[in-house]
Amino acid sequence: MLDNISNKQNSLRRIRELKQLFPQTKNITQQAYNALTPRLKRLICFHAGLQQRHVVMEYEELLVNERKAVIRAMSEIQAMGTLLPSRMMLTDSCIE
């Protein structure tokens, strides 16, 4: 029993040491999503098939499957952005 406790304490100590060596930082997707305006979050959540309540949530509050849906939606919107013309004007809507 004492051996198990000692092993556990050694393991926890080693984990603390490793955490100090590799400080945890936010991931890029988390930083990008949390910085979005509510309007853009609404667009991402809609495209990801999430509900209105997700718009007010931070990335870290989402469930894993919701995060994956957000990542897919952001990737698809990013890919779509490369296909759009670099310059659009409101007059483009007029037929001449």
40-49 residue pLDDT tens = 999 999 999 9
Flag whether 31 is in a domain.
Answer: yes
Flag whether 10 is in a domain.
Answer: no
Structural domain span for residue 37: 26-79
Query: What is the domain count for the chain?
Result: 1
Q: Distance between CA atoms of 60 and 82, rounded to whole angstroms?
A: 28
Flag whether 65 is in a domain.
Answer: yes
Flag whether 32 is in a domain.
Answer: yes
CB 62 within 8 A of CB 54: yes
Most confident of 11-15, 42-46, 86-90: 42-46
- Find, among 73, 82, 27, 28, the residue nearest to 47 by Cα: 73
For the chain, the average pLDDT equals 87
pTM of the model: 0.67
Flag whether 67 is in a domain.
Answer: yes
Flag whether 30 is in a domain.
Answer: yes
CB 30 within 8 A of CB 60: yes
